[in-house]
Amino acid sequence: MKYMLTNRFKFPESSIVMLTEEDPDPLKRPTKYNMRMALYWLIQGCQPGDSLLFHFSGHGSQQRNYNGEEVDGYDETLCPVDFETQGMIVDDEINTTLVRPLPRGARLHAIIDACHSGTVLDLPFLCRMDRQGKYIWEDHRPRSGMWKGTSGGEAISFSGCDDNQTSADTSALSKITSTGAMTYSFIQAIERGHGATYGSMLNSMRSTIRNTDSGSELSGAGGLVTSLVTMLLTGGSLSGGFRQEPQLTANEPFDVYTKPFSL
């Protein structure tokens, strides 16, 4: 992801903060504190014309919501490496930190490759697309009337799967390293020239994941490898059907087939 941002989209390396479990520097590991600080760093000083990007590839979960703000009754969460002792980062906090302050003329893209990640930014609208590419925008604004949108900016999130789905992590997709299936499909959509609009991006990402399930993405591979990828993408069941469909959410609805995609 970092390679794509710096080479294809010309993000300066100095404008990227990366937290990984492998980093020996304790300040660059994805602990809850470090992740929170990185989110504040991202939005700090944001001005019209700025383009922000938040990419998370890791574990996601859910916890019971008691204030009636969630359509499904659950908050979506991201799991830092120390979540068992420090707790998870809840979608309400991500929305308050990154989405609500976003000023007019600024743009935020979130790419969230985690389980239960469909609405993890708590954005007000979710694009529900079927396998033929037809879509509707679902209204996820809280019944309480609380505003979950921006301060005039544009916030759009690609997520690995719906709130009730499980996201896959497989090396068979990239052949090189263990990669979140959704992260890989996002990069592939851009590399293959399918990044003209948000609709073409979403369709391409879903196609990549479905084709992997059928084995057509695995050049020269088959049998056990195909079965393994199928099992990963169906959350451990070889007959359970798909449990991963990339989702799109936004602070306001738009025509996904005419709006140009750009980071």
**Residue 185 CA, distance from chain mean position:** 11
Verify whether residue 59 is a known catalytic residue.
yes
With CA atoms as reference, report the closest residue to 51 among 155, 140, 192, 198: 155
Q: Out of 115, 116, 127, 140, which one is annotated catalytic?
A: 115
| Locus of tokens 């025509």 | 255
Verify whether residue 115 is a known catalytic residue.
yes
User: Please, which residues bridge with residue 76 across strands?
Assistant: 62
Q: Give the containing element (helix H, strand E) for 250.
A: strand 247-250
Q: For residues 188 and 182, what is the distance between their CA atoms, to the nearest angstrom?
A: 10
With CA atoms as reference, report the closest residue to 243 among 155, 160, 166: 166
Q: For residues 261 and 62, what is the distance between their CA atoms, to the nearest angstrom?
A: 30
- Residues catalogued as catalytic: 59, 115
